[in-house]
Each structure stands twice: as C-alpha cells, then as structure tokens.
C-alpha cells in the first residue's frame, strides 16, 4: 500500500543524499499544508503522517498557533491516533487542539481537546478526505503539547511513533506505521515494505525523549 517513505540521516554519502532529497520533498509538501508559528516537526504524507506541537516533548511556547491541512485521495477518509495529548487549560478557550472535517471556511469541528495527560485510545475519524488540525496556545506553564499520527481509514492497525515492540504481546505482528517519525532532532523512520527498525535507541530516540518507530513491520 502506498509509497515507501524514508526520512532521516543515512549512514553513507549516497544513501544520505537520497534520504536527504526525500526529506526535502516531504518538508516542501509539509510547508504548503501547514501554517502558523506553533508548528512542530511534522510529516504530511499522502496517505499517512505524523504531527506534533512545537518543541515536543518540551512545552510549547505561549501564544502560538498552527494549522495543518491534510488531504488524502478522494474517496478515502482519515483517522487519527494520539500518542500524547497534554495541553494545560481548564476551559479550552486559549490552549487546545481541534480537528475539523474539511479545509477552509466550510470546515466543521469534529472534536476539541484540552487538559493534561489525556488518554484518547480510540481512533478519531473524518467524514471526508480532508481534515484541518488546529493547535492554539495562550499563556501556560506546563504541558508537553501533542503528538499524533494519521492514515487513511483502511489501516485500522495504525500505530504512533511512540509505540514500541514491547507494547505488543505477540512475537510477530503487523502494524501500520505512519510515514515518517520526524522528531525535533530530525531522526529517522523506515520504509513501509521493509519496516521500521531500531536505530541505536541509546544514542538517539531516548535522549530526546521521543523514541522512534521501533517496530518490525511484518509484510502481509
């Protein structure tokens, strides 16, 4: 399904160049579809991706906004899985994450979240092939912000970049990793056909507090 996406630093020059150009394509795509001063590292792939608040997992700045406009092929729908949702606010007036069906003035709200340490286990689904994700921050002191993944709804087994192999009891399993697990240090992800592999978790993922997509993706 879909195209293979690989993001990150390669070990060799040639591979590194390839990886870098893919990263640039992804970044350019992302730029067109995200706006505001509160956007964290995000990968907006054509059928899956990952979004985060600025500075994640550190707290996001005061008084920022970001809007991501996500489009998947016509006829498909989008769903979202939350890895982290930690937004300091009691009334959802100035600090919140909001999802809308559609893009532009016709969009309509699906859901709005605020609160520290929220656990959203279920997938949040759109009714159509476009979604706007809006993150607003006012004055606050704490909260990691958010980190989420999306894909088209045929991937019911979508996981987030924070899931690890040890989160699943089976020895072998098939899970759908989102395209790109870009973190604040621009770490790697993997390829859809070959799976996501652990890349030195001691030296990378862990010190920034954002583990990579560590799963072995077993092809079906």
Ligand X SMILES: *[C@@H]1O[C@H](CO)[C@@H](O)[C@H](O)[C@H]1NC(C)=O
Q: Give the residues lining the site for ligand X (CB under 6 A).
A: 59, 61-62, 139-141
Q: Is cis: bond before 57, omega within 30 of 0?
A: yes
Contact assessment for residue 179 and residue 5, using Cβ atoms and an 8 Å cutoff: yes
Q: Which is nearer to ligand X, 59 or 129 (CB)?
A: 59
Distance between CA atoms of residues 52 and 85, nearest Å:
10
User: Closest approach of Cβ 26 to ligand X, in Å?
Assistant: 28
Neighbours of 214 (CB within 10 A): 21
Q: Which is nearer to ligand X, 59 or 151 (CB)?
A: 59
Q: Which is nearer to ligand X, 98 or 140 (CB)?
A: 140
Q: Which is nearer to ligand X, 23 or 87 (CB)?
A: 87
Q: Which is nearer to ligand X, 93 or 200 (CB)?
A: 93
User: Closest approach of Cβ 111 to ligand X, in Å?
Assistant: 24
Distance between CA atoms of residues 155 and 176, nearest Å:
6
Distance between CA atoms of residues 153 and 94, nearest Å:
30
User: Closest approach of Cβ 37 to ligand X, in Å?
Assistant: 13
Distances (CA, A) of 78 to 24, 132, 134, 150, 190: 24, 11, 16, 7, 21
User: Closest approach of Cβ 58 to ligand X, in Å?
Assistant: 9
> Nearest Cα to 49, choosing from 22, 20, 81, 73?
81
Distance between CA atoms of residues 182 and 204, nearest Å:
12
Q: Which is nearer to ligand X, 38 or 211 (CB)?
A: 38
Distance between CA atoms of residues 204 and 184, nearest Å:
11
Q: Which is nearer to ligand X, 145 or 180 (CB)?
A: 145
Contact assessment for residue 151 and residue 176, using Cβ atoms and an 8 Å cutoff: yes
User: Closest approach of Cβ 63 to ligand X, in Å?
Assistant: 8
User: Closest approach of Cβ 142 to ligand X, in Å?
Assistant: 8
User: Closest approach of Cβ 57 to ligand X, in Å?
Assistant: 13
Q: Which residue is nearest to ligand X (CB)?
A: 62
Neighbours of 64 (CB within 10 A): 17
């Amino acid at each position: 399904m879909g195209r293979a996406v690989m993001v990150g630093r390669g070990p060799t020059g040639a591979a590194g160049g390839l990886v870098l150009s893919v990263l640039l394509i992804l970044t350019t795509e992302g730029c067109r579809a995200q706006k505001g001063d509160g956007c964290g590292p995000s990968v907006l792939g054509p059928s899956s991706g990952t979004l985060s608040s600025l500075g994640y997992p550190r707290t996001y700045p005061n008084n920022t906004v970001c809007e991501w406009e996500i489009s998947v092929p016509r006829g498909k729908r989008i769903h979202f899985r939350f890895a982290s949702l930690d937004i300091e606010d009691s009334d959802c007036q100035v600090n919140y994450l909001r999802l809308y069906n559609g893009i532009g003035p016709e969009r309509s709200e699906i859901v709005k979240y605020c609160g520290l340490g929220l656990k959203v286990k279920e997938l949040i689904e759109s009714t159509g092939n476009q979604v706007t994700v809006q993150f607003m921050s006012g004055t606050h002191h704490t909260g990691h912000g958010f980190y989420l993944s999306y894909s088209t709804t045929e991937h019911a087994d979508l996981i987030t970049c924070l899931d690890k192999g040890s989160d699943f009891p089976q020895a072998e399993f098939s899970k759908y990793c989102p395209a790109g697990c870009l973190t604040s240090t621009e770490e790697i992800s993997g390829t859809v056909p070959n799976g996501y592999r652990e890349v030195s978790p001691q030296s990378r993922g862990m010190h920034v507090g954002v583990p990579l997509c560590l799963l072995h993706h077993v092809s079906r």
